[in-house]
Chain A
Amino acid sequence: MSGFFEAVIDIFTSESTYINGALFAGFLAFAASGELVAERAGTINISVEGMLLGGAFTSAVGYHLTGSTIAAMAAGVLGGVIVAGVQAEMSHRLSADQFVVGLTLNILVFGLAGFLDNELEPDTELASRWEVPVLSDIPLLGQALFGQRWPFYLLYLLVPFTWWVLYRTRWGLELRSVGENPQSADVSGIDVNRRRRQSIYYAGLTSGLGGWFLIFGQIGLFEDSVVGGRGFIAIAAVIFGGWTLRGTIAGCVIFAGALSFRLSVQGLGYEVNSELLQSLPFIVTLAGMAVFAHRVRPPAALAQPFVRGLK
């Protein structure tokens, strides 16, 4: 048993744990920030997986065509937004079931990306690393937070921006009202479905960025399995966080921690059964939801489509 404790201490004192954790948490945070906005406006955007994958693929293609990481970023955003477009228009203009649309989109994007990847086989390259002077020398956390490749730093802009948009602007106020009580919002003159569509587009934007970050800030190449179900963990993070931004980021950190823990255990050479470890982050997610989900309050109109006059 002491071997196990030593292992755990090793893990928590190794820098790679934190670096991997930050990478995973960052990826989740890109997706979860947008997902939070979509859910506060009342949609469970289950196509976030497709948005991430779509953004990853289009960013790879963008780089392949132009050789520029920044162009790739724009392409990634475009990819996420296109997927968001289908979800938004079908769920909140055509009133199709948001789960069917979302799940189908995931499968469709997966198929398209795999199909086109085989045809195009885009070349990609990791973005350069930017080390922030002084801050990146902090023990344990320094490299993780300030020594990453530059796409990571976009988070330091995106998360506060999301906070500002959601809580300090009129748009955010209207979004929140639409997710809590669409009838009242409608009567007050707000176009409910339009705000919901916009919230999904926002999710597409951040997830597109997340897909781009995955390729250029973390992995360096595209494969259709590159997202691997983590979009759903982003949704879980939003629930875990009680639909607040602070809680969502905390959720991202904790779930990423579980993912990273598994990698570190293997990386440090400890012999633990790999399959069980692989399921650890998902089990942690489930446990997290079980402990917290009943105490927090979702937006009152979450997952309830709005059609005027149908109340």
Chain B
Amino acid sequence: MTEGASSQRGARLGEWLFLYGLSILAALVLSALLVESTGGAWRSVVSALIDGSLRKPARWGETLGTAAPILLVAVGTIVSGRAGLINIGQEGQLLVGAAFATYFGFLIGGPGPFNVVVILFFGVVGGALWAGVAALLKFWRNVPEVLSTLLLVTVGGQLVAYGLSQSWLLLAPLADRGNRNQVSSQLADDNRLPRPEIFGNEISFAVILAVVAAVLVSILLSRTVWGFRLRMLGRNPRAAQRSGVAQTRYGATALMLSGGFAGLAGAAMLAGGGFAFGNYQLVPGFATNIGWTGLLVALVAREKALVAIPVAFIFACLRTGSSFVGATGVEGRITDVIQGFLVLALLVPPAVMFLRDRRRSRAAATDRA
């Protein structure tokens, strides 16, 4: 039976590749059509995207630096996803994490490298606490976390904006403000994450942080008892309850961990971001959709932490590339649209394969109808 099995496996792999290829192509063609129909040229858009993300000097370092927080958010989402929880509040958890990082970073104000750790640590704490609100609501009052995390995004945004308007909280003293209204002080040079230069690109230390996190979570989930029990909770909560996996404890932990990763991403953006992320200052709109992108990456990567690494990179390319697209005369928003089409397209192959498998096992029955 093994010969048949391996050729069967080969055929299946071929099917998968074909379906994915077709779907991605469809998404790209649709996007190209959209560009053409509004007077743009798709070739120049593609060229601009590649320029902006990879080709032009110092761009791929920028892309990697953008991918890092996205990956961190994605990894956190995967953790809560495995526990069967739907966290869609990463954007808010990221922001609150960044706010905590800013506040405590300035408050504690220790020596350089120590303070960097403090900043990152409080980023985690902030994000975890914000997710903790949703966890409390869920496990105490049964509020679905999909809604509470979502609503908390707006609430978090408003709270941080409030903080940025008060000098006793986050607002920088008048002298440091430049000509802006709501902005925090800038982190001192030694409070920033190192950005080693490699081949003319500045690569933020956050990149290493993110990749390590992804690998670590992947191992944790697949090889440890904790990861096993988390997966049990996500797949069959009743079996989990019987087996000693308390939904409250494990679920709340997973949700808070998820928020913690998002908060860490926020802190990493603050302390390691450079111009792309507010230049070491907390500003309104700081999160710039990194949270949402990270969530999408996790969903597209089908909750596998290692797969999230290349997916995060691709989404980051779209992001950094989009700033070059405007120069071609096409509205930069097109990359949001491309991203949306791509994600939808990537949902199609697994669905089709699943249905195809079921239909096969029913043989000719459905075809007769």
Which A residues are within 8 Å of any B CB, using their own CB? 44, 46, 86, 90, 94-97, 99-101, 103-105, 107-108, 110-112, 114-116, 118-119, 229, 232, 235-236, 239, 273, 275-276, 278-279, 282-283, 285-286, 289-291, 293-294, 307, 309-310
Check A278–B86 contact: CB distance below 8 A: no
Complex interface: chain B residues within 8 A of A100 (CB): 299, 343, 347
Contacting residue for B155 out of A105, A118, A282, A309, CB 8 A: A282
Check A104–B358 contact: CB distance below 8 A: no
Check A275–B38 contact: CB distance below 8 A: no
B167 CB-CB contact with A under 8 Å: no
Complex interface: chain B residues within 8 A of A107 (CB): 292, 296, 336, 339-340
Q: Which 7 A-B pairs have the closest CB atoms?
A: A108-B340, A111-B336, A279-B158, A94-B351, A275-B162, A294-B142, A111-B337
Interface residues of B in 137-193 (CB under 8 A from A): 137, 141-144, 146-148, 150-152, 154-155, 157-159, 161-162, 165
Check B38–A116 contact: CB distance below 8 A: yes
Contacting residue for B295 out of A103, A112, A236, CB 8 A: A103
Chain A CB within 10 Å, residue with most, of B161, B335, B344, B354: B344
CB distance from A147 to the nearest CB of B (A): 31
Chain B CB within 10 Å, residue with most, of A94, A110, A309: A94
B interface SS class: helix
Check A286–B137 contact: CB distance below 8 A: yes
B341 CB-CB contact with A under 8 Å: yes
B43 CB-CB contact with A under 8 Å: no
Interface residues of B in 306-320 (CB under 8 A from A): none
Check A99–B86 contact: CB distance below 8 A: yes
Check A95–B38 contact: CB distance below 8 A: no
Complex interface: chain A residues within 8 A of B344 (CB): 86, 90, 101, 104-105, 108
Check B152–A118 contact: CB distance below 8 A: no
Would you list 6 pairs from A and B whose C-beta atoms are within 8 A, ordered by A residue? A108-B341, A111-B337, A111-B339, A111-B340, A286-B137, A290-B143
Q: In the complex, A294→B161 CA distance in Å?
A: 32
B276 CB-CB contact with A under 8 Å: no
Which B residues are within 8 Å of any A CB, using their own CB? 34, 38-39, 86, 88, 137, 141-144, 146-148, 150-152, 154-155, 157-159, 161-162, 165, 292, 295-296, 299, 331, 333-337, 339-341, 343-344, 347-348, 350-352, 354-355, 358
Contacting residue for B158 out of A86, A278, A294, CB 8 A: A278
Q: In the complex, A293→B137 CA distance in Å?
A: 10
Contacting residue for A273 out of B162, B292, B299, CB 8 A: B162
Complex interface: chain B residues within 8 A of A90 (CB): 344, 347-348, 351
Taking CB as reference atom, which chain A residue is nearest B352?
Answer: A94
Complex interface: chain B residues within 8 A of A239 (CB): 144, 147
Q: In the complex, A290→B176 CA distance in Å?
A: 42
CB distance from A177 to the nearest CB of B (A): 23
Q: In the complex, A66→B350 CA distance in Å?
A: 42
Check B161–A275 contact: CB distance below 8 A: yes
Taking CB as reference atom, which chain B residue is nearest A284?
Answer: B151
Check B148–A289 contact: CB distance below 8 A: yes
Taking CB as reference atom, which chain A residue is nearest B350?
Answer: A96
| Given A94-B355, A100-B347, A108-B341: A290 touches B146 (CB 8 Å cut-off) | no
| Given A97-B347, A107-B339: A276 touches B143 (CB 8 Å cut-off) | no
Q: In the complex, A139→B333 CA distance in Å?
A: 47
Check B337–A112 contact: CB distance below 8 A: yes
